[in-house]
Amino acid sequence: MTLADHIRAESARLAALCTACGACVRACPMTPYAAGVTAAGPEAVAFGMRDVLREGPGTPEALAWIAACTRSGRCTEACPERLDAAFMLRLAQWRAKGALGEPPRFPVREDTQFSPKVKAFARLTLAEQEQREWL
Amino acid sequence: MALGTPAPTDPDLRTEAAVFWYGCNMTRHGELIRATTRILEAVGIAAAPAGGPGHCCGSPKEANARIAGGMAQRTVAAFNASGRDTVVTWCPSCHMNMQDSMAPVTPTNFATVHVTEALWARRERLAPLLTRRVEARVLLHAHHGFNGRVAVNDMVPGLLRLIPGVTIVEHAYRAPGHMCSAIAAVPGALADAQRATLAAMAEAGADTLCTIFHSCHRESVALERHGLRVRNWIHLLAESLGIPAEDEYKTWRNAEDPRAAIGEARVAAAGEVAFTRLVEPELRRPPPV
């Protein structure tokens, strides 16, 4: 199995169980940072998120919500179906970022200097032996 | 025995071997890796540190499942080959990714235990070692996220209460997200969270903000410019244990001239180009609040 297989399988499994009731959206502390979510309403936003898991296009509001997900986990606590809604959002984020090879549906900020930066700081804070053994 | 299992209080308990997976992005805080390893050792866990880009969960490349999956698979394979039956995690992203998308894809032969769980399970061995007083009125820098997976917002204060002199003050505020690097990626969210944190500190009468995770510490140290102290929970435990753990990153981040604070010899050792392009801009960046 690959990560892509896992994303596809888990997306389908969880989308089949989700009722798009909107409890996850209502519980989310990040909705103030997601344009259009309040106006669209929780059920419509949850419906759009589930659509992304079903390989659909989603909606602009759902994509804004998916983009603003920071893994607060309040959605999982709120889900009446006892689904891991935070993981659903994670799956939706992977898909919307284009992880499965599709064009990204919102701007993806990737720090191309991430690894060099980690190593540069390591040279400042770790002894040479620690770098050899711990990195 | 997996490390999540509560340890017996027998002082002759054998030392257990584990990997301490500190994550990919913890190298700003070498003293935290070092001190955490020594604290784990003090409670009977010989944990070999492993991290950096070579032990990545794949998060930095999550817009490409092929690359992220390959990184994750290599990391699991390395841990499987380590011969150690427990991986003690630090980073909440790494921990959740191991459980949600790494182990389900690449079978593991180890248990995954968060460092707070490992220490909490051995608190009876830790407590007598915390002999030095640390005077601090501490507010925990708590997020909503991850706590549903591992009860860090309960276990960290519980461990800190074992330190003579530490008082934990309560406040209902919880920042969104699972750690500050997540909310830093959403425009305005980190600044809002830091303003709320400053308000909570004042309302609770705290003098010390205690971070749990590395990215929260990295983003919070500049709050010392507002007249409070920012320390990680490992800094506090280490001080009480007598383990040296100087927070150099905080010094550099709050220095008028970070290059001078680090010193030219160490800048040269890190590499002039790397320092100028990768390190200095972060240290000089204006804080969110």
CATH number at residue B235: 3.40.50
Looking at the domain assignment, is residue B211 inside a domain? yes
**In a shared domain, residues B87 and B189:** no
**pLDDT tens-digit series, residues B235-250:** 999 999 999 999 999 9
Looking at the domain assignment, is residue B281 inside a domain? yes
Give dist(CA B230, CA B248) in Å, integer: 13
Q: Which two tokens stand for residue B55?
A: 């032990």
Give dist(CA B275, CA B269) in Å, integer: 9
Which residues, in sequence order, are bridge partners of residue B139? B169, B209
**In a shared domain, residues B45 and B82:** yes
Question: Does residue B8 surpass a pLDDT of 90?
Answer: no
CA distances from B108 to A113, A117, B55, B87, B142 (A): 30, 29, 15, 10, 30
**In a shared domain, residues B204 and B148:** yes
Question: Does residue B145 surpass a pLDDT of 80?
Answer: yes
* CA angle, residues B262, B33, B123, in degrees to nearest 5: 135
**pLDDT tens-digit series, residues B154-192:** 999 999 999 999 999 999 999 999 999 999 999 999 999
**In a shared domain, residues B56 and B135:** no
Query: A6 and B105: CB-CB below 8 Å?
Result: yes
pLDDT band for position B24 (50/70/90)?
Answer: confident
Give dist(CA B146, CA B169) in Å, integer: 21
Chain A residues near residue B69 by CB distance under 8 angstroms: 2-4
**pLDDT tens-digit series, residues A89-130:** 999 999 999 999 999 999 998 888 999 999 999 999 999 999
Q: What are phi and psi of B265, to 5 degrees?
A: -65, -40
Predicted interface score ipTM higher than 0.90: yes
Q: Please report the DSSP string for B104-165 in residue order.
A: TTS--SSEEEEHHHHHHHTHHHHGGG--S---EEEEE--BSTTTTTS-HHHHHHHHHTTSTT
Give dist(CA B222, CA B204) in Å, integer: 20
**In a shared domain, residues B104 and B145:** no
Query: A76 and B148: CB-CB below 8 Å?
Result: yes
**In a shared domain, residues B77 and B191:** no
**In a shared domain, residues B162 and B44:** no
- By three-state DSSP, how is residue B191 classified? helix
Looking at the domain assignment, is residue B55 inside a domain? yes
**In a shared domain, residues B162 and B264:** yes
Interface of B with A in 154-213 (CB under 8 A): 176-178, 182-183, 185-189
Looking at the domain assignment, is residue B280 inside a domain? yes
Tell me whether B244 touches chain A (CB under 8 Å).
Answer: no
Tell me whether A103 touches chain B (CB under 8 Å).
Answer: no
pLDDT at position B4 is 56
Tell me whether B109 touches chain A (CB under 8 Å).
Answer: no
* CA angle, residues A95, A98, A100, in degrees to nearest 5: 70
pLDDT band for position B267 (50/70/90)?
Answer: very high
Domain hosting residue B139, numbered range: 131-289
B269 vs B111, residue with greater confidence: B111
The count of structural domains within chain B is 2
- Nearest-CA neighbor of A105 among A115, A116, A93, A113? A93
Question: Does residue B140 surpass a pLDDT of 90?
Answer: yes
Looking at the domain assignment, is residue B95 inside a domain? yes
CB A76 within 8 A of CB A85: yes
**In a shared domain, residues B258 and B203:** yes
pLDDT band for position B2 (50/70/90)?
Answer: low
Looking at the domain assignment, is residue B9 inside a domain? no
Q: Which two tokens stand for residue B71?
A: 């990184």
Tell me whether B23 touches chain A (CB under 8 Å).
Answer: no
Q: pLDDT averaged over chain B? A: 95
Q: Please report the DSSP string for B224-285 in residue order.
A: GGGT-EEEEHHHHHHHHHT-----HHHHHHH-SSHHHHH-HHHHHHH-HHHIIIIIHHHHHS
Last residue within a domain, chosen from B73, B99, B121: B121
Question: Does residue B7 surpass a pLDDT of 80?
Answer: no
Q: Pairing relation of β-strands B86-89 and B16-23?
A: parallel
pLDDT at position B26 is 93
Residues B224-231, mean pLDDT to the nearest whole number: 97
pLDDT band for position B12 (50/70/90)?
Answer: very low
Select from A121, A129, A132, A133 the residue whose CB has the most chain B CBs within 10 Å, as the one to mutate to test that interface: A121
Last residue within a domain, chosen from B97, B121, B145: B121
B146: number of Cβ within 10 Å: 26
pLDDT at position B167 is 98
Select from B27, B37, B247 the residue whose CB has the most chain A CBs within 10 Å, as the one to mutate to test that interface: B27
pLDDT band for position B11 (50/70/90)?
Answer: very low
Residues B103-126, mean pLDDT to the nearest whole number: 97
Closest partner residue to A94 (CB to CB) among B30, B62, B249 is B62
**pLDDT tens-digit series, residues A54-84:** 999 999 999 999 999 999 999 999 999 999 9
Closest partner residue to A72 (CB to CB) among B30, B144, B275 is B144
Query: A70 and B29: CB-CB below 8 Å?
Result: no
Last residue within a domain, chosen from B121, B155, B187: B121
Tell me whether A9 touches chain B (CB under 8 Å).
Answer: no
Query: A72 and B143: CB-CB below 8 Å?
Result: yes
DSSP single-letter state for residue B43 = T
Q: What is the torsional sign of CA A88, A94, A97, A98?
A: negative
**In a shared domain, residues B212 and B239:** yes
Specify the CATH number for the domain of residue B71: 3.40.50.1860
Question: Does residue B14 surpass a pLDDT of 90?
Answer: no
Chain A residues near residue B96 by CB distance under 8 angstroms: 71
pLDDT at position B15 is 78
Amino acid at B58: G
Looking at the domain assignment, is residue B188 inside a domain? yes
**In a shared domain, residues B159 and B204:** yes
**In a shared domain, residues B177 and B289:** yes
Looking at the domain assignment, is residue B31 inside a domain? yes
